[in-house]
Chain A
């Protein structure tokens, strides 16, 4: 395996620094929301991880298209990496949303349109990882994955737009929320700046993790090939 590229090392360092800077901005720069107090600060992590999760699922769909067009297995490695990382981030978004919901809505969970579509989205991609493991032939596995992520990708805009398509208690931070929305708050300019900084930071962290995970996938592929050579 080739040594770690310098750019990846730089990106890793930058990700750590940006993450620490984001925490500093969230706790030292962003103002305290008058009604929700400290729990509102969970919002910055919640929205950033949800953003990165959805971005990754769409990136997986794009990698699926690239595989179908080129039949190059490297796109399958990118696709799995994007799905795995997005699952982690989207899981954090769901859990932090639930933690935020308890003091705001008085319940950890409700089968509201946004929460339901988010849970379905997470399960679609969890099933993707499980189903892949049942296919041994790498070509077939990659083809299955590509088609699956392409169809699964349709659930991303549905989840994103659910607060605008249906009556929901989930607040919309930007744009018009449903009339039933609860737990929303007016965004002060400094809150907006903090949110965009957090979104940028998590996007950089996503790219860094994706690169690391793709390298791991390539190493796994190499080990698999060696095993086949050895035990032929």
Chain B
């Protein structure tokens, strides 16, 4: 049997890692989206000149 305190520590590590990795991926999606939008806007401005 695994002791309660040790078991809780591993559970927190598991959920913390999973949520952390997911959050990083979501931030990367958001940053890439913003960068592409900015690029598109710049290109449209260049073409309209």
Task: Give me the interface of A with B, judged by CB distance under 8 Å.
Answer: 1, 34-39, 41-42, 45-46, 49, 85, 88, 91-92, 95-96, 99-100, 102-104, 209, 212-213, 216, 219-220, 222-223, 226-227, 229-230
Contact = CB atoms under 8 A, between A and B. Distances in A.
Given A99-B13, A220-B36, 16 more contacts: A1-B40, A35-B2, A36-B2, A38-B11, A39-B10, A39-B14, A42-B10, A42-B11, A42-B15, A95-B18, A103-B10, A104-B2, A216-B33, A222-B40, A226-B44, A230-B46
A136 B33 CA distance: 21
B20 to A, nearest CB: 9
Given A92-B22, A227-B43, A213 B15 contact: no
Interface string B1-28: 1111011101101110110011001000
Nearest to A87: B25
Contacts of B18: 45, 49, 92, 95-96
B36 A37 contact: no
A226 B48 CA distance: 12
Contacts of A49: 18
Main secondary structure of the interface of A (DSSP, over half): helix
Given A226-B44, A227-B43, A229-B47, A99 B10 contact: yes
Contacts of A38: 4, 7-8, 10-11
Main secondary structure of the interface of B (DSSP, over half): helix
A216 B36 contact: yes
A45 B15 contact: yes
A85 B2 CA distance: 33
Contact of A88 (B4, B21, B40, B47): B21
Contacts of B43: 223, 226-227, 230
A96 B4 contact: no
Contacts of B1: 34-35, 37
Contacts of B7: 36-39, 103
Contact of B40 (A39, A41, A219): A219
Contacts of A35: 1-2
B21 A92 contact: yes
